[in-house]
Structure 1
Amino acid sequence: MTSKNNKRKTILMVAFHYPPCQSAGTHRTEKFAQYLTDFGWDVVVLTVQKNMFPQQTDKGYQEKAVHVERTGVFDAAKKLSIKGKYLGITCVPDRWWSWAFTAIPAGKKLIDDFKPDVIWSTYPISTSHYIAYKLHKQSGIPWIADYRDPLQCRYDPDATKYSGVSKYIEKLTIENCKKAVFTTGNARSLYQALYPEQAAEKFEVIENGYDEEKFSSLEQVKTNVSSVFTLLHSGDIYGLSRNPRNVMCSLALLKDENIINRENFKIVFRGVSDSTALVEMANELNISELVDVLPVISYRDSLIEMLNANALLLLQGELFNNQVPSKLYDYIRARKPVVANTPSNSATADIINTLDNAFSGIDIETLKAAIVSVIDLNAAKDQSSKVDITRFSRHTKSIELASLLDTVVS
């Protein structure tokens, strides 16, 4: 696939998170930038200096963009703090608002030098959209605004104190962009309802996905695979939105029924930033011997761990009904049974329902049954799937973006 009339075109991508940043949000921009070059597009990236990323990838990144411009920025939460404390208003709309002062003039020069056909920017850094808005208004170049998540104050009641500026930037974005792209149908519906005066076709969906390149090099990698059935949760847990309590209660019931014990089962929580509450919960429910809480590891090692687990656990509470955690796509590619603690009306459940060997639920009894199901699958040695998962790959999602770009600039 190439752009229409086979003439290469240029996209200017405005993205705070970009390699070598290790944030999960990096992968969407990274793979779009890589694969679009195969579909008739030259990619120019406007991002921040590398030293802004305390956690960086442990492997070298093969740059596919024709040019990457990195400009200065400071973290307002640190720069404007006094004795480690700062006023919330100094981080409005986000901690990185200073980026606009260097990125906008740099973006103007990139436009002069590379003459892009389209501008693309990505949230959850509102400043990225503001930069793209200014570049769009000054140049007239069509703009696609990518929302990896809805604006935080659209779903989190605790995120309303300084949401006025963020909502204003969102309004500028939706009114001025050619297309607004979301990662779930639920999020698209939310924004169609928030902006009914905008044409429904302005709002598009391009899901997140898995990176086949990262997995294909790991298929034969084996660690010390445990003989004990391992249910793995990869990544942090926090608050009411990703609370493992019902899962832990279901394990307590299974232990009481002598279905699981420390000789045949363990649940692993990998990369929990604050393990105290989790350990206390395990002690309270008398299942501490079934629970392992392990430190953060590299993204590559986390994929290896998924490939070696017996089943994978996802926590996605009601607060995030319009969102799908990006690691679900890694779970899908790992081709392991999945237990998702999520409401039936969530975007996450919508995907789970299309998969083989994947189970979702929110209450203790449903989760208990789901865990028994994945244990039985493992015992039967039957985890084969008839579902074509390639539709969830980053490569496929880049084809979707390339098609959308063609419609915008044709």
Structure 2
Amino acid sequence: MPKLLVICPTFPPVNTPDHHRVRISIPWFIKWGWEVTVLAVEPVYTEAPIDAVLEQFGEFCRTIRVKALPASATRKVGLGNLGYRAWWQLKKAGTELIKQHNFDLIYFSTTVFPTMTLGRIWKKKFDIPFILDMQDPWRNDFYLNKPKHDQPPKYKIAHFLDSRLEKWTVPYADGIIAVSWAYPDKLNHRYNTNIPSAVIPFASSKADFDIVEKLKIKNPIFQRKNGRIHVVYTGAVTPGMPIPLELMFKAFMSIINSTNLDIHLYFVGSSYAPEATSIAIPIAQKVGIEKYVTEMPARVGFFEAIKVMLDADFIILPGSMDAGYTASKIYPYILSEKSIIALTHEKSSVSTILKGCNTGPVITFNNKEQLLAKQNELESAIKTLIRNKEFKANTNWDFYKEYSDETMASRQIDFFNQIIKLQ
């Protein structure tokens, strides 16, 4: 029986997006004969909310949790990242676990990137291969050439640390799993390496939707109103998204001004920040549509977010200017069976998947100039969908099978076996 150590500091019941890959995959791993241990941080130290529904289910594999330095103390000296606050505790606990269980593979599946440095340390000490799951870029260059006032707080310091730690760690990894082809390609080019990689999108589970119905989860954002068209976006508004979102707002504003339609847009969980602030509303104000927009920047429970999707008439996806952008949110979107209006980069995997699944209009662009020329096409697509009341997607489920939770877990296992055999 192969033994897998998963490093996921924000493992359930913490409500963050970076644990869902392993939350959904681990039951399949166990079913297929793997012994799985998860190393995580006690939820109270994570600065993320607890999902009450996930808390009900308890832990479904061996889970070891460690403490961390409290953020309330470390933020006084400018240190908030969980990876730094829990690094020593994770190192100590992980070292003991490896001595006890003789793992075949270590799998870092998290966006708490500083913890990934432990892979190199444990590999040198115990000769165990490790895989990095790059769900987002570790070293984020997006703001590098932006004016200081457009950069997040402490961006230069964070970029400096991320650059050094990524360079110290990545070249020693035995494998890279990523949600986009852009991540492993960029890393192998940056460090002149040839690390084996697998592009495996996130998955979603139909069982989660069954839980929402069974437990009668409430919608914390809105109650349906007769005659109103409820349009929903759940998930973060990412750095590459403001320009497409502004164009989408302009299209809706034009439709509202030219019709008597009661349309309202809801943005849920739009900010990653612990102290979430509105991101969509300032863009809406720029367009003059803020009267028709409600934003809940803080994260709601995972299952509450599903309920919001189920209560929507249709879903919007303003994509990113980044061709490498991929969105885990599209899988629960698809499983909601709601029509999706998407505005995405033509090279993004989002475009390919949504078109293949036939979830609704997918309008693509290749650059800013092409994007800005798409407003009329976008307006027409929205009007047609509303006029024909095509709110339930005619989903191609045969195409979707390639992106199901079972398929994605199987692809991870195949990659694990590949890496183990290379040792």
Q: Distance in 1 between matches of 2:143 and 2:296?
A: 28
1:303 maps to what in 2?
306
**Which whole-Å CA distance do the structure 1 matches of 2:247 and 2:183 have between them?**
26
Aligned 1:8-407 pairs, distance under 5 A: 8-53=1-46, 54-59=48-53, 60-65=56-61, 67-75=62-70, 78-82=72-76, 86-87=77-78, 90=79, 94-157=81-144, 158=151, 159-199=155-195, 202-218=196-212, 225-227=224-226, 228-237=228-237, 241-242=241-242, 244-258=245-259, 261-262=261-262, 265-272=263-270, 278-279=280-281, 282=284, 285=287, 287-293=289-295, 297-318=300-321, 320-356=322-358, 357-361=360-364, 362-363=371-372, 364-379=375-390, 383-388=393-398, 389-407=400-418
- CA drift of 1:386 comes to 2.5
* Deviation for aligned residue 1:138: 0.6
Query: How far has the Cα of 1:38 moved from its partner?
Result: 0.9
* Alignment check: 8 A CA contact 1:71 1:106 kept: yes
Q: Are the equivalent residues in 2 in contact too, given 1:232–1:311 (CA < 8 A)?
A: yes
Indicate the SS of the match to 1:218.
Answer: helix
Instruction: Give distance in 2, aligned partners of 1:279 and 1:408.
Output: 46
Q: How far apart are residue 24 of structure 1 and its match? A: 1.3
**Cα RMSD (Å):** 2.8
SS of the residue 1:233 aligns to: strand
Q: Return the letter of the residue paired with 1:302.
A: A
**Which ranges in structure 2 are unaligned for 5 or more consecutive residues?**
145-150, 365-370
Aligned partners of 1:282 and 1:288 also within 8 Å:
yes
Distance 2:284 2:25 in 1: 41
TM-score (norm 1): 0.84
Deviation at 1:39, TM superposition (A): 1.3
Deviation of 1:251 (Å): 1.3
Counterpart Cα distance in 2 of 1:178 and 1:391: 25
Note if contact 1:231-1:309 (Cα within 8 Å) is conserved in structure 2. Answer: yes
Give how far 1:294 is off.
5.0
Equivalent residue number for residue 368 of structure 2: none
- Cα distance, 1:368–1:119 mapped onto 2, change above 3 Å: same
1:299 deviation in Å?
A: 1.8
Q: Which residue does the alignment assign to 1:3?
A: none
**SS of 2:346 mapped into structure 1:** coil
Change (3 A) 1:367 1:152: farther
Aligned to 1:96, the other structure's residue is in SS state helix
What is the CA-CA distance between 1:276 and the residue it aligns to?
Answer: 6.3
Deviates further, 276-285 or 291-300:
276-285
Tell whether the 8 Å contact from 1:34 to 1:63 is kept in structure 2 after alignment: no
Query: SS of 2:165's equivalent?
Result: helix
**Aligned equivalents of 2:270 and 2:159: distance in 1?**
28
The answer to whether the Cα contact below 8 Å between 2:270 and 2:278 also exists between their aligned partners in 1 is no
Structure-1 separation of matches of 2:159 and 2:387: 47
Question: Within 2, Cα distance between the matches of 1:31 and 1:277?
Answer: 29
Give the whole-Å Cα distance in 1 for the aligned partners of 2:281 and 2:106: 47
Q: Deviations over 1:66-120 (max 9, x none)?
A: x2111121255x32344xxx44xx46xx453132212222112111211111111
Percent identical across equivalent pairs? 17
Q: How big is each residue's C-alpha offset from its partner over 1:325-375, in whole Å with a ceiling of 9 and x where there is no partner?
A: 221211111121112233223333333332312423443233323322432
CA separation of 1:139 and 1:209: change in aligned 2, threshold 3 A: same
Preserved contact between residue 123 and residue 149 of structure 1 (Cα < 8 Å): no
CA distance in 2, matches of 1:184, 1:316: 14
> What amino acid maps onto 2:385 in structure 1?
V
Aligned amino acid, residue 140 of structure 2: C
SS in 1 for 2:4: strand
Equivalent position amino acid for 2:26 in 1: A
8 Å CA contact retained: 1:148, 1:183? yes
Deviates more, 1:277-286 or 1:323-332: 277-286
Alignment coverage as a number of residue pairs: 387
8 Å Cα contact 2:18/2:110 also seen in 1: no
| 1:209 positional shift | 1.1
Q: Call closer, same or farther: CA 1:104–1:58 in 2, change over 3 Å.
A: same
- 1:63 is paired with a residue of what secondary structure? coil
Does the aligned pair in 2 maintain the 1:145–1:173 contact within 8 Å? no
Matched-pair contact (CA < 8 Å) for 1:119–1:136? no
